[in-house]
A and B are shown apart, each in its own frame.
Chain A
Amino acid sequence: MNDNFEPKIVAIFCYWCTTQAAELAGTSRMTYAPNVKIVKTMCTGRVDPQFILWAFRNGADGVIVSGCHPPSDCHYEDGNFKWFRKYVLLSKTLEQAGIDPKRLRQEWISASEADKLKKVITEFTEEIRALGPLKHPIREGGD
């Protein structure tokens, strides 16, 4: 077991819900593992499966994507559903390609749920720590 393994996790959050929750978590001084780095898009509907693969390729051991709760919190009607459909297909593809689909986590976190955000980040960091670093040819690529 690699005791020094610090997971590298990319979080892609939509601006309206989960990014606001993250800002609220900050304002409320909630602490969580520094392993998760946040990249924001306006909507999870913007999230291209290529981003997920790119994250794994560049060193991510885990990826979280979080947006507004279905059915109706999405600022742009149904961007969250569009993402969810991609997530389902992508998840199965990852598994077939030999990447544990647990390394891609899908969440719905609304703007007021800072405590849920902290919980998810903490849980996921530990999950990835237990899974270990991602060992797969995806990591052998250059840029």
Chain B
Amino acid sequence: MGKPKVGFYWFASCGGCEESQVDIADKLIDVVNAVDIAIWPVALDFKDSDLEKLEDGELVACFLNGAITNSEHRKIAELFRKKSKYVIAYGACSYMGGIPGLEVSKDKETLIERVYLKGDIVVNPDKVVPVQEFKEDGVRIEIPEIYERPYSLDEVIDVDFYVPGCPPTPNVFLDAVNTLLSGKIPEKGYVFGSRKSLCNECPLNKTKPEKVLVKEFKRPHEVILDPEKCYLAQGVICLGPVTRGGCDSLCIKGGMPCTGCFGPLEGIKDYGAKAISYIASILDSKDLDEIRKTLEKIPDPLGTFYRYSLPRSLFYQKKVGDKK
């Protein structure tokens, strides 16, 4: 019996997840020794037929990152589902839609227009836009269908586990790999990381006053943050309270507030709505006009509070599930 076979794949992805996987540094050697990486497009040459040739369930696990935005993504995702025992949605994009997921609030036409025609740095005098099928001189070229909206992985295939993060931090990736190798398989739908929010492990939580009351919210570039004090208490929007922990507070330690890439905790139906709930509540004002003016200054609530999770929000998700 050989080593367990695993696969990796990337859909609408930035490559950060791949980097995070190799960021486990020296532990990478242990991983490579323990498993047989059958598919790894970032590092090894690969054709679709390599995947098709596998037996059903031949891969013990596959780690799929990136959002599903076109028909090719779906085709490969479905193939991976067939060929794998466990499918793991890796990273915020496949878990919740991630950054490409923000497209869900606009329609396809608007997006194509912006990217190919009206973008600030676009020069496209012939107005060339992608078309699915192109014929010339008897040659037919076909590209995958761009979907009307991006999807998280579990909206197209059945997903077993999730590794959150944009990208997942090395410790979370390692935890996932080791858990699977140990044979102690968690229940379906398990999200790796902490069971509690970031505040629970954040080194600045003890500096947070009991009553956090903020007179106005500032963006990180508008203020020089004291690195030793809770950023939320300093008036910057930090999504630590509502975001799953387990990332070792890397952003906080790096002087930046949490932007929510690990997503919600179990039982929260809508991440952004909960974020709005506590951020608005701690505004220290009892004057209706002042409240309006101060909150108006938050330039993009949808983007701020749903940065990684918009397709998974109550606004757009097809099926609400408690992924416990």
Contacts and interface: CB of A to CB of B under 8 A. Distances in A.
A88 B285 CA distance: 13
Interface stretch (B8-16, B129-137, B183-191, B270-278): B270-278
A96 to B, nearest CB: 4
B314 A85 contact: no
Interface of A: 48-50, 52-54, 56-57, 70-71, 78, 81-82, 84-86, 88-90, 92-93, 96-99, 136-138, 140-143
Interface in B139-182: 149
Interface of B: 104-105, 149, 268-270, 272-274, 276-277, 279-281, 283, 285-286, 288, 291-292, 295-296, 298, 300-303, 305, 313-320
A93 B301 contact: yes
B318 A142 contact: yes
Main secondary structure of the interface of A (DSSP, over half): helix
Given A137-B104, A141-B314, 7 more contacts: A48-B277, A54-B269, A57-B320, A85-B283, A88-B291, A92-B295, A141-B316
B269 A50 contact: yes
A45 to B, nearest CB: 8
A54 B305 CA distance: 17
Closest 5 CB pairs between A and B?
A: A96-B302, A85-B280, A49-B273, A53-B314, A50-B273
Contacts of A84: 288, 291
Given A85-B280, A89-B295, A141 B286 contact: no
Contact of A81 (B268, B286, B301, B314): B286
A89 B300 CA distance: 10
B291 A93 contact: no
B320 A89 contact: no
Nearest to B281: A82
Contact of B281 (A86, A93, A96, A142): A86
21 contacts: A49-B277, A50-B274, A57-B320, A70-B286, A70-B288, A81-B285, A84-B288, A85-B295, A89-B295, A89-B301, A93-B276, A93-B301, A96-B300, A97-B315, A137-B104, A137-B149, A138-B315, A141-B318, A141-B320, A142-B318, A142-B320
